[in-house]
Every structure is written in C-alpha cells, then in structure tokens.
Structure 1
Amino acid sequence: MELIMADRMEIDEPRGTKRKDPPSSTEDNIPRRIQANVVNKIAAGEIIVAPVHALKELIENAVDAGATSLEVLVKDGGLKLLQITDNGHGIDKEDLPILCERFTTSKLKKFEDLSSICTYGFRGEALASISHIAHLTVTTKTKNSSCAWRAHYDGGKLSPAKPGQSPDPKPTAGRGGTQISVEDLFYNVPTRRKAFRSPSDEYNKIIDMIGRYSIHCAGVAFSCKKHGDSGTSISVQSQASTLDRIRQIHGGNVANELIQFSAADDRWGFKASGWATNANYHIKKTTLLLFINNRSVESSNIKKAVEQTYSAFLPKSGHPFVYLSLEIDPQRVDVNIHPTKREVNFLNEDEIIQCVCETIREKLAAVDTSRTFMTQTLLPGTLLPGGTSQNTDNSSSKTPTTSRKTPARPYENNLVRTDSSLRKITSMFPSADKASGSSATADSSTSNAGLEPQYEVTDRESTHCRLTSIRDLRTDVRDDMHHELTEIIANHTFIGIVDEKRRLAAIQGGVKLFLIDYGRACFEYFYQVGLTDFGNFGVIKFQPALDLREVLQIAAEQEKTAEKDGTSADDDFDVAEVVEKVAAQLIERRQMLLEYFSLEVTPAGELLSIPLLVKGYAPSMAKLPQFLLRLGPYVNWTEEKACFESFLKELATYYVPEQLPPFPGNDQVEENVPDEIKARRAHVRRAVEHVFFPAFKARLVATKSFMKGGVLELANLKGLYRVFERC
C-alpha cells in the first residue's frame, strides 16, 4: 500500500501545475486536410434549410427550362418524398454525369455575367446540395432523344440504383421534360431532421411557395397534391389570368377587392406592376407577394412602406394583400447575397419604394369613395326611427324601403374642414391686417408675387447616391418616424401663423387643432431633403463672388462680442486665427463640398455658390456668416457618416426661417419698422403658408423627437362640444 501511494506521489504533479500535452500519436502528427464531404454538407445545410427551399430551387429550374406545366407530389411534408415533374426542354444524356456537381451551371459563361443575370438559377448549387443530404433521382427526356434516361445521385456523383449495379444512366420510358424525386431529405443530418415540428407545417409552407409562383408565372400550369390523395391541393391552369390565379389561391374575398397598378421611372431603371386590395378589404397580417426580376424575395423595407401607405385607408389593426412585381435593370441588382436567394440588393431602393407607394396611394385615393358596407333589414315588429313599427301585412310590404330619402343629419362634432380655400380664421382678426399695413391682403400670394426669385434650369443629369452612410441615415429617419403625427401632417389643413417671434403656426388635423413649431418642422424637413436629394442640390450663385474670409470674419467678430458679453475674458480667442483655420478647412475640402453639397469655393477663397434646397424661399443672408463659421468646429470631417450628418444638420439650421419681431402694438407704428424687416416678414409668411406646409404635407416624416417638443394639441372638437353641453 505504501508502495502504491509512493508511485502515485511520483506520478501526480503538485496542485496548480500546468500539465503537459499527452504524447501525440503518429496519426495526430499528420497535417490536417480539408474534408470536401464536410464542406459540401455544410453548404447544403445553408442552401436547403427546409423542404420548401428545395422545392423553390426545383421550381425555378423547371421554369428556366421553359416548362409550361409543373406537377408536385409531396409525402410527409417533403421530408419523405418531394417530386416535381415538368414538360421543359429536358437534360441531355451527356450532361447527366456532371449534373449534381457543385458550381455546374449553364446560366453563366463568365463571372461578369452576374451583373446582367436574368434567370432564376446561376450558381449550380441546388441539385448538388440536395444530392448531399437526400437520395436524388432524375428522369429526363429531351425533344431529340428516343427515350428517357434515369440517373441516381449520391454526394454529387452518379450512384447505382442497387448495390452491384452500374452507376451509369439507364434508358427508361418517359415523357418529354424532367422529373426530379428527392427522397429521405436530411437522412444523414439527424439533428436537422428532428428539428421540424410536423409534416403538416412543412406542407403548408410548400403550398404557400407554389401559390406564390403560380400567381406570378403567367402561362405556366401548377398542381400539387399529397402522396396517396386523389385530389389536388392546388390546381392552376396555364391559360388562367393573374386575377383568376389570385382568386384560386387566396379566394374570392381578396380577388373581388383588387385594384391593378403600375409604375415606371427611367431614372431609377425600374418598372412595377401588380394588384393590391382596396379599402374595403383588410386582414390581421399583411400579405406581400414580392417578385424582383421574377424572383420571389422578401424585403422588410418595402413591406413597412406598403403598410404605412395603407395606414391612412384601413382601420388601425387592418392590413392589405399586395402582389408586386418589380423589373429592375439587372446591372442595378445584386442577386448573390443570400444562400437561398431570398434577398437581393438594388440601387435607389428608397426612390423606387417611394414611387411605387405613391402610385398605390393614388389608386387607393381614387377608389376611396366606393367603400361598401353590409346592411341588414329590420326584423318584423322593430320600431323605426320615426316611432312606427314595421308591419308584415301585404299593404305595407309593397312599399319599398328606398322610398325613405330623408338624409341623415351629421353631427357637428364630427365635421371636418377639408377645403383650404374657404375663409380662414386669420381673416377675422382685424388687428393683424391693420398691423401689416395697407399692402396686406387676404391672399398673400398675389401681394408678394414680385418677391419670387428667378430660377434657371440646367441640363445636369441627376446622380445616383450609392453611399452606404447616406442609406443608413435615411434608415435612421424612417426608424424614428412617428406614424400618427406623420399621417396628421400629411392630411392637415393650414390655418395660419400664430407667432412669428416664437415661430408658431396652427393647423387642423381631423377634428383636432394643433400648434406647430414650424421652426423645428423646417429643420426636420430640410434635413430630410438633404438626405433625399444628396448630391443633386440646386445652386444659389453669388454675383459677384463673396470673399470667404471677410464673411467668416463677420461671424467671428459677432461670436467674440457675444463671448465678452456673456462670459469672462478667459474665453477670448484670436479672430484672425479662427477665420484662417476655418477658411483653410473649407478650401481644402472644396471638391467634396462642390460634388456633394453644391457649395463652391475657389482655391483663392472666393465663395461662388451655396446649395438650394427648395424653390420659393430664399434663406436669410444675415445667417450666412454664422453658417459658414460653424462648418469648421461643428462638422466632423474625420468620419464619413458623421460628416454628412453634421453638415446636413448645419445646412438645415441655416435654412430654418429666423425669428422675426412681432407686429407693432398699439404704442408703435408700422412706419418705424425698417423696410428690410417688412420685406423679409412678407417673404417668410408667404413661404410658411405656400411653400413649407404644402411640402410638409407631401414628404415630411415626423420623428418622435419632433413629437415631444414641436407639437401641441390645442383643442379637440368633440371635447369642446362636451364643454358646451355642460354649459
């Protein structure tokens, strides 16, 4: 016993000592090699996630082969058997040995063909992936072949149908086209096989996928049934129209409420067409059938934009059915970004989405007056509104119900003002007209028509923004959108300016009255214009050119005066040093400023132009020195996204109308107000009513931060009626 303990003490090392690796065997010393079989199984697991993904690949291959009829047979949700039969061109016998090898494709001749791909498949991974995780059988016959050929595949290579037989394709009887049978899917991936909840769930996904392609693929017949069933779950004829296909797949309730739409724009290189439900139909969850270049894909951005478009027409919990087919220039689309090709990237996504949604909005608005409602006749003996009962005798039944033509009187607390040309509340304030002088009239547009600046149209082509930073900033704005406030502004009625010094205006939204800080609203609007029109701004030219350093010196001296008045002398700074430093920054980055922001500075330091964001309004030239000075310390010139964001916010701040002194009171006279302030006040008032708020109505995305401090609900018509009733 003592000897054994001694041996253990010699073998065991002290506690805390790091043990050495055990001696390696001869096999462990061999360098590790890449295992092709493991790589292929991993790739197959990424491409074929479920039976429905295998079916999608097989459907696309059949349509690429010119098939006009597809028959699908499913057993156990596709896990036991997934068979698709088409009448396409078929596969030559000589191509069968390499049919299931990875990256075998007939769609691409060279890699550059990806930029103009117009087919469904292009990577040659579908059949290869299926053959690595299932037993694959292909029976095919071409037009010139005297018989059909059947081949079995395992691991991407030909395999014998039974042990001991030759793996070469065997002649057999068959019709023109191709039949592909996928048996025992994921048989060698037990973890994936056990992860599926039930065969019925997988079968429902298969039905949904076949329904999508049967609606989109015009001229192609589709059928699908379960193994052992006599009837089919889906049966669509080849001559059926798109509307009939939607009726067969989604029912008559959807098809009866569909409206057709189409849109196109050569600038963005796209065409769009589809069908969408009108305001009479709504469901609990949005159904979006989206095809981009004939490929079924998903897009959360398009789905959100469609739901936002319908929010103004449907109840709060209502959602639409939309089938949308987008045809985009293949050179603008990147199809090779997802293993299952479920997603694609394309240029000018925001512009295309906006154009499509605007088309749908116009169609919905055109048919919004045709809403239908279900009615029910009164039961016998029920009291009518007049106090009489509905009799059941023959004399009374002969009188048609349509003879009652007395219109229902609307409740005043539900009346909404919709005509902005009617008399405004501001016309009832004589003090405002008196204070504005004899030149003020009810229609400010006629009195200030001479203040409209002259514009020149250039032949410069618009540029397409491909910067990821700008796309991210646009996404940030959409994510911060306050949907209810955006809808209120999009459908508001402008009432009038309340306070020019505090930059307040009143609008009506439905039966509510709101007070809007149009200064903050203008900041939001001009910042969003900067993102939307990035790289395509107009130009405000200075003739003659301004000396950049002189303009900066004006702002620096004003800043220094403000520093001395408000703080101690320790915060003093050298004006000349600051001016030179900011001027050097702007001159150094003059090419970028000109290309992206239309702000032109010469190498000698002359300011030739600044960006023009909106027609009908000229920013205050008194704010120009401060704007240029802030471009130095308040713009992050080191990071792309932060640079664009900070510059556009400074530009939006410059364009925000300045705070103007109020109209003179009883102890003042209008003649004492300088003519410059009079002209500027008239210009701003006209821009607020006729430029800014119409622009807000058309394209402003109200953010949550603007909702917190820029909007105040003054009154609710229904609430006011309750107050009057108590009185």
Structure 2
Amino acid sequence: MDEMEIDSAPGGTKRKADDDIWVPRPRQRIRALDPDVVNKIAAGEIIVAPVHALKELIENAVDAGSTSLEILVKDGGLKLLQITDNGGGIEKEDLEILCVRHTTSKISTFEDLSSIATYGFRGEALASISHIAHLTVTTKTKEAALAWRAHYLDGKLAPAKPGQSAEPKAVAGRQGTQITVEDLFFNVPTRRRAFRSYADEFNKIIDMAGRYAVHCQGVGFTCKKAGEASNSLSVQAQATVIDRIRYVYGGMVANELIELTVSDDRWGFSANGYVTNANYGVKKSNFLLFINHRCVESSTMKKAIEQTYTSFLPKGGHPFIYLSLEIDPARVDVNVHPTKREVHFLNEEEVIQALCKKIESELAAVDESRTFLTQSLLPGAKPVEPLDEDDSDAAPKFTTPALRKVRRNSNDLVRTDKSQGKITAMFSPAGPADKADSPARAMEDEPFAVPEPIEYTTIDRDQVNCRLRSIKELRQEARDEINEELTEMIASHTFVGVVDEKRRLAAIQAGVKLYLIDYGHMCFEYFYQLGLTDFANFGVINFSPPLDLRELLQLAVEKEHESVGITPEDGFNYNFFVKTVANKLIERREMLQEYFSLEITPTGEVVSIPLLVKGYTPSIAKLPRFLLRLGPYVNWNDEKQCFKTFLTELATFYVPEALPTTPTGEIEEEDLEESYLDDEQVQELNSDEILEEVRKRRQHVRWAVEHVFFPAFRSRLIGTTKLMQNAVLEVASLKGLYKVFERC
C-alpha cells in the first residue's frame, strides 16, 4: 500500500506516508542576558539558604579583625539575619561600591589566589545578598567620629524609604560593622517556599556558628532568636578550644578528647585538632574540618577517618572530630565551589592517610584505659549463674546477693516467660454454628492480631533541644505525680492479653499478682508524657492530597450538635464555629508546625499531623473532632497552659478507640458511633463489610496494644497516683490463691 490517510486537520486532508512532518522552528539568536538576571543567577548559586549568608558574614567579620560577634535571627534567618562585630569597620568612601560584584580588598591580581590567606576573595557575598534581600550596613572605623548607615538593593545604594536620599546617613554607633539582612529571598518566591521549617533553618545556623566558635580562638560568639532573652549559643573570647567544644557540643564530648598534632613537610601540611577516644560513640558523627581556617567539607576524609574508628568503637558508634589543616596555599585551589564549601589540594590521598595513621596510633595508645558505663540488674532479668565450685580452671568466684541461690516457696514461683503462649491463644470467636459462610466463621482461621501495613520514611532532621521554661515546668509536674509502686510494677510486668476492646481492658502479671489495666487511661497518660519528652521532635503523618480544614471542622460541628439534637433549623450557625476555629488554627500555623508537626497551609489545608509512636496509626475518623476541640479547649493566651491543653487533646486523639466486641451478627448503632468508622464509611458499606472493617481494626489495635503500647509503657511510662486509682485493678494474687487451696 503506497498511501495512507491521516487526519491532520478538521477538514480531513490527505498526505503521503513519506511526507516530511517536521516543522522547522524559527532560528534563535544569541543575546546577552540582562545584568539583573545575571546577578540573581549568581546570587542563587552563592546564597542557597540563610546559613550560607551567615557563613559569608561570619567570615567577613573575622577577616575584619573582630573579637566579638553577635548574631540575631528571626524566622530561621528568612525574616531577619543580623550580625554585629567590633572589627575595623568600612570607610565611608567605600560604601558606594560595597555591594558591587567583584569588589574586594583581599586580592588585586589573579596570581594572588595562589597565596590567599583570608576567608573571602571574590567580592560576591554582600553583592549576592543585596539582590535577594533588603541589606542594611551600619559601620564605624576607629578614626571616624560617627557611624554611617547605608541601604542596598540590587547591588546599589537605595533609600531607606521612598522619596529619601540613597546616600549613606550619619548615625551614632560603636566601632565595627552591623549587617542586617531582612526578607531573604523576598523576590525569589520559589526558593522561599522551599523552606518548610524555621526551626530547621535556625538549627543549621546554630551549627554553623558553633563550628566557627570552636575554631576561631580569641573571638567570642553569641547567637539567639529575636525576642528571646537567653542566648542559644554563647562562647567567651578567652575560652580554650576544649572549653569551646564543651560550650557548643557538651561535656560528654569534651571529657573524652584526644589532642591530635601531625605534620609532613613532604606533603606540605600540618594539622592539629581534637578527636574523641574509644569511650565516646554516638549514632551520628560530628566532623568539623577547617582547611587554612576555612570551614569546608570532605566526604573522602570523613569516610576514611570513620573507617579508622571501626576497630575501636562498637557497631553503629561514631566519633567527634575537629581538625584544622594548614596547607601551603600554593597547593590549594580555593575557587572550586560557589559557596567555598569545598576546596581541592594536592596529594589529598597521602594527607588523609597520614591523618588516619596518626589517629589510629593515638587511639591505640589510650585503648587500654577504656571505661564502660554499667547499670544495676533490671527488674525481672535473670542473674548470671555462678561458676561451679569444682571448676578448678575457673576464675575465683565472688558471691553477691544477686548471685546467691535462695530457696523459694512454692507460692512465690510463677511463670514469667512471655515467649510461651498467651492465654488469648485459647480464645475462639463465638458465633452461630449454622452460618458457615458468616464473617465470624471466617475469623477462626485468621490471626488473632496483625500489625498495620505502615510504611515509614526517614528524614534528616536534627534533634531540637527544648529550652522552654513552660515545658520544663510541665515535665517537673509530671515527675511530681509519680507513684513509685505503679512505676516499678509497669517496668517489670509481663503482658497477658487483651480482655475487652470495648471497655479497653488488658491483663498483665507483675510479680505474683494479676492485674486488669484500663489501657485507654494508660495510653492517654503515656501519650501526654511522650508529648512532653519529645516536644518539638515529633514525627510526621503526611496526607496526600492535603485535607480541607474547613470541611473537617464542618463535619465535626454537625456531628457534635446532632448528638445533642441541635440542627441548623434551630437557628444554630455552624459556619460561625467553623470560621472561628479555622482562623485560629491558621493564625497559629507556624507554632503548630514548629512544635507539634501539625502543618496547616495559609489557605486552610491540613498537610500533616504529628506522629508520636511507630507501629500504630490513630483513628483518622477522630481527626475532625480533634481539630475542632483545638479551638475552644486549648488556652491560646498562656504559653504553659497552651502547651498543656494541646498535648491533652493530642493524647486523647491518639488513645485507641473503643471497638465493638460482638464478633458476629448485628452491630448496634451506639457501637458504630464509638468505632473508628466515619459516617461516610457507614453509609457506603453493608453490614458484612462493616463487620469486616471493624474486625480488621480490632486485629491492628490488639497487635499495637501488645507489641507497641505495653513495651513502651515498660521503658518510658511514669506511673501516677491518678493512674493507680483509676486504671489498675488487682484481680488475683498467687499467695491468696494458695491460702484458698490450703483450706480446700
């Protein structure tokens, strides 16, 4: 067939199969980009995040001979990033070209790069910042009688307010320079939206400031959030290197440091610093590397040094490393990365090998003095059996109270091996024998409890150390309520089984006694305490797509008032309640995301809710009521009461719901109201499907109660007097049963 018909237009025109269908594009001419576009592109390469702007400003301040740096941050540096130093200052005549690209006092010719000894040299930091933020510089030299303040935008002097002169203005000020960066990325909305958490950006700023605070001897550092009285970082100018490490990274690191000094003229380098010995090991390493006093990264060096530590640290342990390398400037290429994060130098492999060899020898020299932390025997743990007396080759035997064989009475002997079968293994669902195809009969061949199919994604987020006084007071109040008897009982208990999901009862064994536990009350107290201990460090349950906040609140309001017989026909304004609560949550969205991982967009979409514990998902049908109660039941006017009431509502939301216990037949309407099914599911499903959903949820809750909640109670729950009175009931004592048998 030589021809084929193809409809290429509404009229159905014909063309041959070998017709050329390629349509040539018009030729594009090469043209020069607008300078403003070029500058914004360069700014995006150099200032990627607020921490990069801070790094450039710290380096400029240290280059100016400063001995004191004060850093002020607001909204993670996006709203405000200010650094004040007491250095040499800037001449008034230089302010006009201060933010012009490639204006610098560090070099004059290209050959100067081979001997560069300062932090900066390209003259792009302030220029880049001025293109993506509002920049204000206040400076005074030692000889000047007054300080001068200048505002910059797009690399040029700009007026402070419209209509005013752009020339620098004389103001009162002290010697040094104060640089204020406001509204970072205000004209790059895509970049600004990429920052999801102010807390994460502030932690990065603290980390960078801490690195330079450790390295820059003779320079004092302070850093704090705007509006807070206390400093998040404070290092005195006269502090030693070890003291600086102690101030920034803690005493556990500072107490285990080994001083390191190594040099080799053949490779043209010398290094000094401090590394931790074999007594210190954490899950994530801290690697501070400075090459010619510039903070850089080297994944090759980091991996090599960590590999050296594998022979001295247990599996999963990582060291703290601070190294300052002095390398011949002629051997270093500093101009390989826009943010100067990386440098290249000659004989890199040989230098790394020499460092690792020195670290290995230092660790081997102190390995004999390694110490270990010990703890007493945990409740319920089996003591180590003593050696036999007739073992002549054995080491001398020491008899301690924990190792002595004590004869125990029969009424003290109980089975505590939880690996054996549970009493629940003998349970079988009761149902009519003639309904062979009923869901109840199908349950007999299915597992009694199964985990939820939950997938988790690990995110790289630093731990937040909470310093809020209100949270510390709430934690102390929780500790003051401790009931030592209940706490010890929970820490040593053996789980027996779930007794009743509707009344939320479970049985545990502690010592020679059997108890019924209201795990609903117990879970509430656990989640409340967990909210205090993990404050601002919650995981995240993401919704894809996000949920509409107002729709959720509307559902909750309607259900709440239908339960008491109130309808819109009675004149009740649902929309007023929905609007009031939604506006309150949207107004507080930044605080909710930073402290509670509850992310709500400005348009009213629920993106995520907090994840408190792995292995269990709260009933999403309870989410509308949870969000609604955040309005009237949270005290938004007092910080301490706000956190307390919010964590109370969050704990209530996470408590496992009461589930119907009837495994077959009809499910009563009141049971459905208490179950995890929402109204739409109840309307869409028939009775058998509803029964199947409730059965699946019951299996997941049973599994979570046994494998998630009660193991967590053992390790983290503080028993309170209120719990002892309301959630614990002794049902049997082995000694009491023996007395009954003796009388029989």
Q: What is the TM-score with the length of structure 2 in the denominator?
A: 0.49
Q: What is the TM-score with the length of structure 1 in the denominator?
A: 0.50
* Structure ID, larger Rg: 1
